[in-house]
Amino acid sequence: MPSLKTIRKRITSVKATQKITRAMKMVAGARLNRAQQRITALRPYALKVHEILEDVAASMAERQSDADDPNRVQSLHPLLLRREEKNVLYIVMSGDRGLCGAFNTNVNKAAERAWKAKEAEGIEVSFATAGRKCREYLSRRKGVVAKDFPRLLDGLDISKARKVGEYVTAKFARGEVDAVYLVYNEFKSAMTQKPTVELLLPPPERPETAGHSPTKDTGVTPTFGFEPNEQIVLERLIPMYVEISIYRALLETQAGFFGAQMTSMDAATRNAKDMIGRLSLQYNRARQAAITKELMEIIGGAEALKD
C-alpha cells in the first residue's frame, strides 16, 4: 500500500488538475455560446447563396441561344466547369489543440478514408490544411500537403475564408485540380459533431435540378433582373459562394471544437472528482491502519514492561 505522503501528493495533484479542467470547461462553454450563435446565423445565408447561384446559372443558361447544349451551364463560368476527376484537392479543417476527445481524430480519419477511396480509383489527391492536428496527421501518413493555413480559427472572420477561397479558385480555374472538397466536423450539438466530406467546386447541383433545366418539370422559368448585366453578377456570385461555404465550414469546425472541448473537460472534471473520492478513501484506510499499528505497538510494549 502507498504511504500516506504519497497518497496526499496524488490527491493534491488531482485537485490541481480538476481546477484546470473546470476552468477550461467554463472557457470553452463561453466560447461555444458565441460560436454557436455565429454558425446558427450564417447557415441560412450560406444555403441561400448556393440556391441563388444555381437559379441564376440555370436562368442564364435558358437565355443562351444554343438551348440544346447540355454543357451550357458549365460554359457560363470557368468555376462551373465539370471535368473528369484526375486531380482533387481536399480542404481539411481541424483544431490546433487537443483536449477535445475524438474531435480531431474523427475528421482526420474521414479525410484519410476519402483520400484512399480516390487513390483506389487512380485519382491523385492533395490537401490544403486548416489546423495543426490535421496537418500533422496527414504529413505522418505521407499525404501531399500543398498548402497550410495556420491558426485560421484564432480571430476567425470572413477575410480568412476569402484567403482560402482565392487559393482554391485559382487552382481550379487553372485546371490544376478537377474538384475541390471540404472535410470538416459539422456542428450538431455540444456533444455531437458529424465528420462531413462536401463538394465545393464545381458547385454541386441540387438532386431535383441535376441534369435538367427548371422549366422541364414546372414549365416556369424564374425571372431575374440583372444590374449591370448577367455575367458580372455571376462572376461576383461564384466567389461569394466559395467564401461563404468555406467560412461556414470554418465556423462549424470552431463551434464543434469548443463543444467537444467543453464535453471532454466536463468528463475530465467528473473523473477527477471520482478519483479524489477513491484516493481519500484509500488515504483514510491507510491512516487508520497506521494508527491501529501504532496502538498495537504501544499496547505490546506496555505488556512487555509488565512482564
Indicate if the pLDDT at residue 206 is higher than 80: no
Q: Hunting for cell 482533387 — which residue is that?
A: 88
Active site residue 134: no
Burial of 299 (C-beta count, 10 Å sphere; 0-12/13-18/19+): exposed
- Residue 223 has a pLDDT of 57
- Residue 50 has a pLDDT of 80
Instruction: Tell me what the mean pLDDT of segment 27-47 comes to.
Output: 87
- Residue 264 has a pLDDT of 86
- Residue 61 has a pLDDT of 61
Instruction: Tell me what the mean pLDDT of segment 137-153 comes to.
Output: 89
Indicate if the pLDDT at residue 208 is higher than 60: no
Catalytic residue (one of 73, 100, 177, 179):
100
Separation CA 61–CA 70 (nearest Å): 10
- Residue 51 has a pLDDT of 79
Indicate if the pLDDT at residue 43 is higher than 80: yes
Measured CA angle at 64 (ends 58, 68), to 5 deg: 85
Q: Residue 147's beta-bridge partner residues?
A: 128
Separation CA 240–CA 45 (nearest Å): 11
